[in-house]
Structure 1
Amino acid sequence: MRASQNDELMKAWATVPDVAKAQERHEAAVKLRRDFPRRNTPVEALAAVRDAAIARFNDTGKWPTDFAKDAAKAHADALVYEAEALALRLLEDQTKNVAENLRDVLSVDVLTHLDGRLKEILDAAKSAGATLGDVTTAEQAIEAGGDVLDAWRRLTALLKDFGNVRDAQWSVLRAVAGEDERARIRQWTAAGHGEVQGLRMDDIPAHIAGVMRSHAYSIEYLVWLARSGAGYVPTSVDALADNVTASTEPLSYDDHGPLRDFSPRVTPIPVPPAPVPTGAERTPELSY
């Protein structure tokens, strides 16, 4: 199971019942293995009986008559222990794989939940941002006091939640991506993609685009994003790729006006008119 300290990510996975159940099963399997007592392996058990017999012989000069019986029992007990220890290890690995596979298959549901969570945060930030007015720093908020200071405090809490949602978003997308896709995701995140949709990167203010590239989120950025209405969480790697293309592809214009139909045109051949008698006609003379 992918460990995480991100509350938003864990809550998002918990909204998918199958994933939550698989995670519980894996955690229970991990606890079983950790609580299982440490004992000797079959090789170690035989070695212990052998060493005890040799030590006894060196002390007394007598070889224990029950050596074979003691060795067989120690080996059998150790085999039983080892079989259960291996079974618990296999159980832990299998429950981990099941949970990971479910996370990959159901990642769309989780990303959709994160998108809804982001919208909740941005709606709250938009309301608090309206109270701020032109205030952009903590010092200005403290000086203004009252509702402005309260709004700044709400935005500070929302900023932490916003950062967790973004971290959760990238964690899920990287987890379900292949090796080549993960390399592209690194390039896209460094370029500021995956933050907004419906806007071209060239149309975003420079200082806002800088925050999108660095991911050093600020209250000013959070308020801008809330007011823009463009914030979103991609629901898949393909959706992210489509948005990257839409936000960066060059604009095209038609310099030649409307389209014209240049397909071949068929002109029918006219029927020639019938000859008009002139009176000068004569029957040709045939030779031999």
Structure 2
Amino acid sequence: MRQSSNPALVAAWATVPEVATAQKRAEDAVKLRRQFPSGLPPAEALRAVQDEAIATFRDTGKWPNDFAKRAATAHADALVWDAEVVALRRAEAELQYEAESIRDDMAPDVLAYLGRRLAEILTAAKDASTTLGDVTTAEGAIDAGGDALDAWRRLTGLVTDLRNVRAAQWHVLRSVAREDERALLNRWAAQGHGEVRGIRLDDVPAHVREAVRSQSYSIAQLVWLAHSGAAYVPTSFDNLQADVTAAEEPETYDDRGPLRDMSPRVTPIPVPAQPNTSRDPRPFLD
């Protein structure tokens, strides 16, 4: 079970009751299996009775009169124990698998929730930054006091919220991805993809690109994202892949190779030659 203490992720999964129910059932199955009394498989239980009878015969020379009854009882009890412990192990494995499958199926809903949460964070950050005006440091906010100081404090809390949403986003995307897809996700995250769309990464300020790559945000990066209108949460691996492709495509290209001048070419109409009137008439006179 993929657990996380990230409050943004916990809140996101809480919006999907099917996940909470499946996870609870899987956890209960683990508890039942762990609390089940220890015992021996049927073959081992029967062998224990046999070993005891042989030891008695070795010491006394007498075979136990109740061997058959004890052997049958031990084997029957062990069969009952073994049947239930096998069923509990199956229940644990199957319910965990089902819980993971439900999480995978519901991942787009959770990512959509994180997208809405991001929008709320950025709206609040935009309002707070407007209140700050020209204040760009904590010292400046303290000196200004009043609304500016309150706005700075709100932005500080919103930075933490932004980090949690981004961490939750990548957690979900990696959790539901295949192994080859996870490798791509890690590469894209390192390049700074997956957080802004509609603009090329080269057009994003360097300090914002670095914050995206390291997942280490500050108020400056939060405010830029809030005002850019480009921040988003991908709703699936395919959605992110399409955005990465769009962001990396050249602005202008020609499928046949280098750019060519495709403007119409005008071919001048040739001027017909003038007739030659200076030919010597003498050959015709001979």
Give the TM-score normalised by the residue count of structure 2: 0.81
The 1:142–1:72 alpha-carbon spacing in structure 2 relative to 1, beyond 3 Å, is: farther
Structure 2: state its 5+ residue gaps.
254-258, 266-286
Aligned partner letter, 1:14: A
Residue 255 of structure 1 and its aligned partner are, at CA, apart by: 6.9
**What SS class does the counterpart of residue 155 from structure 1 fall into?**
helix
**What SS class does the counterpart of residue 75 from structure 1 fall into?**
helix
Residue 106 of structure 1 and its aligned partner are, at CA, apart by: 2.4
- Residues of 2 paired with 1:142 and 1:41: CA distance? 71
Aligned partner letter, 2:8: E
Q: Could you tell me which residue of structure 1 aligns to residue 92 of structure 2?
A: 92
Mapping 1:246-261, distance limit 5 Å: 246-252=246-252, 256=261
Q: What is the count of residue pairs matched by the alignment?
A: 260
Q: Could you tell me which residue of structure 2 aligns to residue 184 of structure 1?
A: 184
- Residues of 1 paired with 2:37 and 2:15: CA distance? 35
The 1:193–1:60 alpha-carbon spacing in structure 2 relative to 1, beyond 3 Å, is: same
**1:80 paired to 2:80:** yes
Q: Could you tell me which residue of structure 2 aligns to residue 150 of structure 1?
A: 150
**What SS class does the counterpart of residue 106 from structure 1 fall into?**
helix
Aligned partner letter, 2:99: A
Identity score, percent? 61
Aligned partner letter, 2:12: A
Q: Could you tell me which residue of structure 1 aligns to residue 170 of structure 2?
A: 170
Q: Could you tell me which residue of structure 2 aligns to residue 110 of structure 1?
A: 110
The 1:200–1:48 alpha-carbon spacing in structure 2 relative to 1, beyond 3 Å, is: same
Deviations 1:79-123 (A, max 9, x none): 211111111111111111112222222221111111111111111
Structure 1: state its 5+ residue gaps.
262-288
The 1:136–1:72 alpha-carbon spacing in structure 2 relative to 1, beyond 3 Å, is: farther
- RMSD of the alignment, in Å? 2.5
Q: Could you tell me which residue of structure 1 aligns to residue 5 of structure 2?
A: 5
Q: Could you tell me which residue of structure 2 aligns to residue 34 of structure 1?
A: 34
- Residues of 2 paired with 1:143 and 1:36: CA distance? 64
Q: Could you tell me which residue of structure 1 aligns to residue 232 of structure 2?
A: 232
Give the TM-score normalised by the residue count of structure 1: 0.80
Deviations 1:180-200 (A, max 9, x none): 222111111000000111111
Aligned partner letter, 2:185: I
Of 5-14 and 216-225, deviating more is 5-14
